[in-house]
Structure 1
Amino acid sequence: MQVVVTGGAGFIGSHLVRTVLADRHPSLAGAEVVVLDAFTYAGRIENLAPVRDSPRLRIEHADIRDPARVREVLTGADLVLHLAAETHVDRSIAGAADFVTTNVVGTQVLLQAALDLGVGRFVHVSTDEVYGSIDDGSWPETDPLLPNSPYAAAKAGSDLLARSYHRTHGLDVVLTRCSNNYGPYQFPEKVIPRFVSNLLDGRPVPLYGDGANVRDWLHVDDHCRGIVLAAAKGRAGEIYNIGGGTELSNIDLTFRLLAEVGAGEDMIERVADRKGHDRRYSVDWSKIRDELGYTPQVPFDEGLAATVAWYRDNRDWWEAVRR
């Protein structure tokens, strides 16, 4: 089996590649992996260093917005795991153009190539942010999309395109929507690696607003298992939420990080809130649990401690890219 992982040099994509090549997913045992990545700021060849010499790995430097290159790379593919995207909300607020062209246009290019080439299955990996903000309860997959940031709006657009290629053309598409990921190799613009790297350097951590915004935290290893389950057993045309089961306010998360590195509350720097900052995200992941047997396996306390330890032990990795 040949599996193409778009965005395979990014945080989640590279974890997926490393675990597939380590044969940690029985349904993909022995699979050949093709990484399609534009190697922008967050896609790094260093993320693939542990598997770089695997004879089952091929790396293609390509932009998903380039139809000719995408067609070349997808030729012969049995499965596409589509993770390539611009993802950082703050960057989308500062400038949305790359988010629209990469997340929307790039996804359409991939879908068309997959359709034309007869790819067996296309898994489109998305985010809970497409639902907007929820005060109480959790979103099922049937809730309407009400994105509030340019990033989330671009992802919502890509979700709708993916679904349309199934409904209109019969392409075997499965969609997943995950909650907030954390783990090793995450680019230090996101809250956990940014806060950890700051604290390890004795620098304050910038906490938005009152810190009461709530997120559900999902270890990258659990997310990748959910993606592979959806690829192996998900129903064509269906959407599966993937949650972590640990909801925390940003201030609670901050205090946990302070405790992990032995820092005090004086290291918190209150900053003006982000524009359009969603108050709470929470996905109902009972569908993937009941249909596909997914449950998160990494306890948050253990996962967070291991993540902090990884950043402590891999200073060279994040010092090279931190602003």
Structure 2
Amino acid sequence: MNLEGKKILITGADGFIGSHLTEELVRRGACVTAFVLYNSLNTAGWLDSISNKIRNEIRMVSGDIRDSYRVKEAMKGCDVVFHLAALIAIPYSYESPASYIETNITGTLNVLQAARQWEAARVIHTSTSEVYGSARYVPIPEDHPLRGQSPYAASKIGADQLALSFYDSFSTPVAVIRPFNTYGPRQSARAVIPAIITQLAQGSQKINLGALSPTRDFNFVKDTVRGFIQVAESDHAIGEVVNIGSGFEISIGETAEMIGQIMGVSVEIQSDSARFRPEKSEVTRLYADISKAVRLFGWKPEYGGREGFRRGLEETVRWFTDLEHLKLYHLGRYEI
């Protein structure tokens, strides 16, 4: 399926990955409806920061993914649905697990019900590498056992299984994309890479971090967005779960050192207890097997491996250290 000219709904379009995906689909000639979280200021998250040329091409719909009627109305007439709306902050899921069930599972049900009613041609459901828990073996394939080590991860496992059940039960054309740790411009400073960059950018050489030994497979946002689009375009992805990752594993501590090198700063790391997960909840290792994405539709990371990761970090550092962007963040404050 070529997405040019197709009517597309993106839930969570106002977020980090959603805003990048929205921009790219508009550039590719799709007719995009952006479903954004309603607020009294009538703001649209990161979509407020994109060029007017692109923003004027977007149909904006404000609402709440938990509102089945609003979701159904937004989806009417759409060919393809990219479902990204979710609560994603792991620390906050310890504080408010019920809200994760309502948003991530009930919200997904609303999308699936509407897609079934309107007979959408594609539903791309967003998963997360957190559903695997700490890797039992690497690289992690899609059939690796699932383990919800946080309420967030558990809610995403539930949402993933619900999406796949609609494919099995009703032949709803669902594909599940499972991105590993996406990073890049616009990411929340709650995430580790922006947390490191923003602390260094304000002149701190001593930075506060949590656990340093866990490893992650960091995926640059441009690669993640290409993954979303290629999953949607591929007939072979329907009914499947597909990992999107960089094929490269690196520890949090080594990531901080690499960022320091790029920014020309000698980094000293201080342990901050507020940034640690509960011991049994910490996911100690994530490293993607991406062979299925390569086999099904030829996706490969353009920012893969150590060299690609460094290039992605350099682009990310340039964006965050632009003063117009940096001032959008609450520097020196840890937010869950």
TM-score by length of 1: 0.92
The answer as to whether partners of 2:37 and 2:44 remain within 8 angstroms in 1 is no
The answer as to whether partners of 1:31 and 1:56 remain within 8 angstroms in 2 is no
Q: For each residue in 1:168-197, what CA deviation from the matched residue of structure 2 results, as whole angstroms up to 9, or x when unmatched? A: 111000001111011101111111111111
How far off its partner does 1:47 sit? 3.6
Partner of 1:27 in structure 2? none
Alignment map for 1:45-194 (pairs within 5 Å): 45-54=45-54, 55-194=56-195
Report % sequence identity.
34
Partner of 1:281 in structure 2? 286
Tell me which amino acid in the other structure corresponds to 1:196: I
Provide the C-alpha distance between the structure 1 equivalents of 2:185 and 2:70, rounded to a whole number of angstroms: 30
CA 1:95–1:184: 2 relative to 1, 3 Å: same
The answer as to whether partners of 1:9 and 1:39 remain within 8 angstroms in 2 is no
Structure 1: 4+ residue segments shifted above 6 A: none
How far off its partner does 1:310 sit? 0.5
Q: For each residue in 1:134-189, what CA deviation from the matched residue of structure 2 results, as whole angstroms up to 9, or x when unmatched? A: 15312211222112011111111100000011111110000011110111011111
The answer as to whether partners of 2:256 and 2:267 remain within 8 angstroms in 1 is no
How far off its partner does 1:39 sit? 5.4
Provide the C-alpha distance between the structure 2 equivalents of 1:94 and 1:198, rounded to a whole number of angstroms: 25
The answer as to whether partners of 1:175 and 1:240 remain within 8 angstroms in 2 is yes
The answer as to whether partners of 2:127 and 2:156 remain within 8 angstroms in 1 is yes
Tell me which amino acid in the other structure corresponds to 2:78: A
Provide the C-alpha distance between the structure 1 equivalents of 2:249 and 2:44, rounded to a whole number of angstroms: 30
Q: For each residue in 1:174-222, what CA deviation from the matched residue of structure 2 results, as whole angstroms up to 9, or x when unmatched? A: 001111011101111111111111111123422223x110000100110
Tell me which amino acid in the other structure corresponds to 1:242: I
The answer as to whether partners of 1:187 and 1:318 remain within 8 angstroms in 2 is no
How far off its partner does 1:94 sit? 2.3
- 1:218 alignment partner, SS class: strand
Partner of 1:262 in structure 2? 264
- Of the three residues 288, 291, 312, the one matched with 1:303 is 312
Provide the C-alpha distance between the structure 2 equivalents of 1:62 and 1:50, rounded to a whole number of angstroms: 20
- 1:56 alignment partner, SS class: coil
Q: For each residue in 1:238-286, what CA deviation from the matched residue of structure 2 results, as whole angstroms up to 9, or x when unmatched? A: 11111112211010001111222222233x1112332111100122110
The answer as to 2:37 corresponding to 1:38 is yes
TM-score by length of 2: 0.89
- 1:303 alignment partner, SS class: helix
Q: For each residue in 1:118-148, what CA deviation from the matched residue of structure 2 results, as whole angstroms up to 9, or x when unmatched? A: 1111000111110111153122112221120
Partner of 2:3 in structure 1? none
Partner of 1:16 in structure 2? 21
Q: For each residue in 1:12-44, what CA deviation from the matched residue of structure 2 results, as whole angstroms up to 9, or x when unmatched? A: 000001111122xxxxxx21001101157xx95
The answer as to 2:328 corresponding to 1:320 is yes
Gaps of at least 5 residues in structure 2 are 1-5
Provide the C-alpha distance between the structure 1 equivalents of 2:44 and 2:263, rounded to a whole number of angstroms: 26
How far off its partner does 1:99 sit? 1.3
Provide the C-alpha distance between the structure 2 equivalents of 1:217 and 1:165, rounded to a whole number of angstroms: 30
Provide the C-alpha distance between the structure 1 equivalents of 2:172 and 2:96, rounded to a whole number of angstroms: 32
Quick check: 52-61 or 139-148, which moved more? 52-61
Task: Tell me how many residue pairs correspond in the alignment.
Answer: 313
- 1:109 alignment partner, SS class: helix
Provide the C-alpha distance between the structure 2 equivalents of 1:244 and 1:140, rounded to a whole number of angstroms: 13
Q: For each residue in 1:69-110, what CA deviation from the matched residue of structure 2 results, as whole angstroms up to 9, or x when unmatched? A: 111100010000011111111111222122111111100011
The answer as to whether partners of 1:242 and 1:285 remain within 8 angstroms in 2 is yes
CA 1:217–1:195: 2 relative to 1, 3 Å: same
How far off its partner does 1:321 sit? 4.0
Partner of 1:218 in structure 2? 219
Provide the C-alpha distance between the structure 2 equivalents of 1:83 and 1:304, rounded to a whole number of angstroms: 24
CA 1:260–1:212: 2 relative to 1, 3 Å: same
